[in-house]
Structure 1
Amino acid sequence: MYQYAGVVVNNDSVQVDKVFTYKIPINLIGSVHLGFRVKVPFGRGNKTLDAFVLELYKQCENVNNIKEIASICDEIPLLKITDIELIKIMKKKYLCTYLECIKVIIPRGITKGIKKKTAQLLTTCKELEGKFLNEPYKNIYMMIQNDNMKYNKNEFSKLFNVSLSSINTMIKHEFLGTKEVVINRYNEKDYSRYEEKILNENQKKTVDLIMNSNNKKFLIHGVTGSGKTEIYMNLVSYMLKDNKQSIILIPEISLTPQMVERFKGRFGRDIAVFHSRLSDGERYDEWMRVKQGNVKIAIGARSAIFLPFEDLGLIVIDEEHEASYKSDSDPKFDAREIAYMKCELENCILILGSATPSIESYYRSTINELELITIGERADGASMPSVEIVDMREELMNNNRSIFSKSLFEGITESLRKHEQIILFLNRRGFSTFVSCRKCGYVFKCKKCDISLTYHSASDYLTCHYCGEKERISKVCPSCGSTYVKYFGVGTEKIEQEINRIFPSARTLRMDFDTTRKKNSYEYIYNTFKNKQADILIGTQMVAKGLDFENVTLVGVIAADLSLNLPDYRAFERTFQLLTQVSGRAGRGTKEGNVVIQTYSADSLTLQYAANNDYDSFYKDEIMMRRAMDYPPFTSILVITLSSEDEPLLIKSIQNVGENLKYKIKDNDKITLLGPCPCGISKIKNFYRWQIIIKGNIEEAIALEIKNSVYELVKNVYTSIRVSIDVNPSNMI
Structure 2
Amino acid sequence: MRGLFLVAKVAISRAAYSFDCEYSYIVPDEMKPDIQNGSRVIVPFGNGNRRTIGFVTRMYETPEFNEKLKPLLKLIDKESLVTDEMLRIIFWLKENTFCTFFDAYKTVVPTGFSYNFSQHYSLANTCIPDDELDEKELNIINFMRSAESQREVDNFLDFTAKPRLKKIVTGLIDKGYIQEADKLKRRVGDETVTMVRLSDEYLASLEAGNSVPLTQKQKLVVNLLEDCSSASVKEVCYMTNCTSSLLKRMVQKEIIAEYKYEVMRNAIGVTGECSDPESIKLNEEQQKAYEGIMSLVESGKPAGALLYGVTGSGKTAVFFRLISSALRRGKTALMLVPEISLTPQMLSSFKTYFGGSVAVLHSSLSLGQRTDEFKRIKNGEAKIVIGTRSAVFAPLADIGVIIMDEEGEHTYKSETSPRYHARDVAIQRCGFHNAVLVMASATPSLESFYYAKNGRFHLFEMRKRYNDAVLPEVEIVDMQQEAEAGNDSLFSRILMNKIGENLKKGEQTILLLNRRGFNTYVSCLDCKKPLACPKCGIPLTYHKKNNKLMCHYCGFAMDNVSVCPECGSDHLHTGGVGTQRVEDELLKAFPGVRILRMDADTTYSRYSYEEGFKSFEKGEFDIMLGTQMIAKGLNFPNVTLVGVVSLDKALFTGDFRSYERTFSLITQVAGRSGRGEKAGFAYLQTFVPDHYVLNLAAQQNYDEFYEQEIALRRSLTYPPFCDICVIGFSSPMESKAIEASDWFVARMSGYIKEKGIKIPLRALGPAPCTLERINNKFRYRLILKCKNSKAFRDVISYMLTEFYKNKSFVKVNIYADINGDIGL
Under a length normalisation based on structure 2, what TM-score does the superposition of the two structures give? 0.82
The 1:420–1:486 alpha-carbon spacing in structure 2 relative to 1, beyond 3 Å, is same
| Residue among 431, 440, 444 paired with 1:353 | 440
Q: Which amino acid aligns with 1:580?
A: T
Q: Percent identity?
A: 37
Tell me the residue number matched to 1:115: 189
- 3-state DSSP class of the match of 1:558? strand
Shift of 1:681: 0.6
Tell me the residue number matched to 1:478: 565
Deviations along 1:558-581, whole A, 9 cap, x unmatched? 013120111111110010000001
Shift of 1:60: 7.4
Tell me the residue number matched to 1:211: 294
CA contact (8 A) 1:95 1:704 kept: no
Shift of 1:502: 0.6
- Does residue 45 (structure 1) correspond to residue 23 (structure 2)? The answer is no
| Residue among 44, 64, 83 paired with 2:67 | 64
Deviations along 1:296-341, whole A, 9 cap, x unmatched? 0111111111111121111111110100000001010000111111
The 1:170–1:637 alpha-carbon spacing in structure 2 relative to 1, beyond 3 Å, is closer
Tell me the residue number matched to 2:124: none
- Does residue 675 (structure 1) correspond to residue 765 (structure 2)? The answer is yes
Shift of 1:460: 0.4
The 1:2–1:375 alpha-carbon spacing in structure 2 relative to 1, beyond 3 Å, is farther
Under a length normalisation based on structure 1, what TM-score does the superposition of the two structures give? 0.91
CA separation in 1, counterparts of 2:809 and 2:274?
A: 55
Shift of 1:649: 2.3
Which blocks of at least 5 consecutive residues in structure 2 are unaligned?
116-185, 200-211
Tell me the residue number matched to 1:467: 554
CA separation in 2, counterparts of 1:598 and 1:192?
A: 44
User: Residues 297-308 of structure 1 correspond to what in structure 2 (within 5 A)?
Assistant: 297-308=384-395
The worse-fitting range, judged by mean Cα deviation, of 386-395 and 200-209 is 200-209
CA contact (8 A) 1:434 1:489 kept: yes
- Does residue 447 (structure 1) correspond to residue 527 (structure 2)? The answer is no
Tell me the residue number matched to 1:200: 283
Q: Which amino acid aligns with 1:386?
A: E
The worse-fitting range, judged by mean Cα deviation, of 29-38 and 486-495 is 29-38
Shift of 1:401: 1.1
- Does residue 231 (structure 1) correspond to residue 321 (structure 2)? The answer is no
- Does residue 182 (structure 1) correspond to residue 269 (structure 2)? The answer is no
- Does residue 403 (structure 1) correspond to residue 490 (structure 2)? The answer is yes
User: Residues 706-717 of structure 1 correspond to what in structure 2 (within 5 A)?
Assistant: 706-713=796-803, 715-717=806-808
CA separation in 2, counterparts of 1:60 and 1:596?
A: 76
| Residue among 93, 101, 105 paired with 1:102 | 105
CA contact (8 A) 2:655 2:821 kept: no
| Residue among 791, 796, 802 paired with 1:701 | 791
Q: Which amino acid aligns with 1:4?
A: V
Q: Which runs of 4+ in 1 moved over 6 A?
A: 121-126, 128-133, 173-179, 666-669
Q: Which amino acid aligns with 1:396?
A: A
Shift of 1:171: 5.9
- Does residue 729 (structure 1) correspond to residue 820 (structure 2)? The answer is yes
The 1:183–1:669 alpha-carbon spacing in structure 2 relative to 1, beyond 3 Å, is closer
Deviations along 1:444-488, whole A, 9 cap, x unmatched? 110011311000000000000011110111111223322111110
CA separation in 2, counterparts of 1:60 and 1:567?
A: 60
CA contact (8 A) 2:268 2:360 kept: no
The 1:6–1:530 alpha-carbon spacing in structure 2 relative to 1, beyond 3 Å, is same
Q: Which amino acid aligns with 1:82?
A: E
Deviations along 1:482-503, whole A, 9 cap, x unmatched? 2111110101111111111111
Which blocks of at least 5 consecutive residues in structure 1 are unaligned?
157-161
Q: Which amino acid aligns with 2:761?
A: I
CA separation in 2, counterparts of 1:24 and 1:102?
A: 21
CA contact (8 A) 2:803 2:809 kept: no
Shift of 1:660: 2.5
The 1:172–1:687 alpha-carbon spacing in structure 2 relative to 1, beyond 3 Å, is same
The 1:412–1:75 alpha-carbon spacing in structure 2 relative to 1, beyond 3 Å, is same
| Residue among 246, 250, 271 paired with 2:358 | 271
CA contact (8 A) 1:427 1:562 kept: no
Tell me the residue number matched to 1:11: 14
CA separation in 1, counterparts of 2:425 and 2:218?
A: 64
CA contact (8 A) 2:759 2:792 kept: no
User: Residues 372-451 of structure 1 correspond to what in structure 2 (within 5 A)?
Assistant: 372-451=459-538
Deviations along 1:344-397, whole A, 9 cap, x unmatched? 122111100000000111111022111010100111221111100101111112
CA separation in 2, counterparts of 1:705 and 1:291?
A: 37
- Does residue 689 (structure 1) correspond to residue 692 (structure 2)? The answer is no
CA contact (8 A) 2:766 2:781 kept: yes
The 1:183–1:613 alpha-carbon spacing in structure 2 relative to 1, beyond 3 Å, is same
CA separation in 2, counterparts of 1:373 and 1:258?
A: 25
Tell me the residue number matched to 1:506: 593
Tell me the residue number matched to 1:366: 453
User: Residues 537-552 of structure 1 correspond to what in structure 2 (within 5 A)?
Assistant: 537-552=624-639
CA separation in 2, counterparts of 1:571 and 1:61?
A: 59
CA contact (8 A) 1:189 1:269 kept: no
CA contact (8 A) 2:508 2:622 kept: yes
User: Residues 537-686 of structure 1 correspond to what in structure 2 (within 5 A)?
Assistant: 537-664=624-751, 670-686=760-776
User: Residues 258-297 of structure 1 correspond to what in structure 2 (within 5 A)?
Assistant: 258-297=345-384
- How many residue pairs are counted as aligned between the two chains? 715
Deviations along 1:150-182, whole A, 9 cap, x unmatched? 9599x99xxxxx9xx976468658999987443
Deviations along 1:521-552, whole A, 9 cap, x unmatched? 11111111111100100000000010110100
- 3-state DSSP class of the match of 2:646? coil
CA contact (8 A) 2:18 2:802 kept: no
The 1:553–1:218 alpha-carbon spacing in structure 2 relative to 1, beyond 3 Å, is same
User: Residues 152-191 of structure 1 correspond to what in structure 2 (within 5 A)?
Assistant: 168=245, 172=249, 180-191=260-271
Shift of 1:122: 9.9
The 1:691–1:23 alpha-carbon spacing in structure 2 relative to 1, beyond 3 Å, is same
CA contact (8 A) 1:22 1:67 kept: yes
Shift of 1:665: 5.3
CA separation in 2, counterparts of 1:656 and 1:31?
A: 48
CA separation in 2, counterparts of 1:730 and 1:683?
A: 17
- 3-state DSSP class of the match of 2:344? helix
Q: Which amino acid aligns with 1:107?
A: P
Tell me the residue number matched to 1:159: none
Tell me the residue number matched to 1:89: 92
Q: Which amino acid aligns with 1:89?
A: W
Q: Which amino acid aligns with 2:78?
A: E
The worse-fitting range, judged by mean Cα deviation, of 674-683 and 458-467 is 674-683
- 3-state DSSP class of the match of 1:268? helix
CA contact (8 A) 1:120 1:152 kept: no
Shift of 1:709: 2.2
CA contact (8 A) 2:5 2:65 kept: no
CA separation in 2, counterparts of 1:231 and 1:351?
A: 11
- 3-state DSSP class of the match of 1:423? strand
Shift of 1:428: 0.7
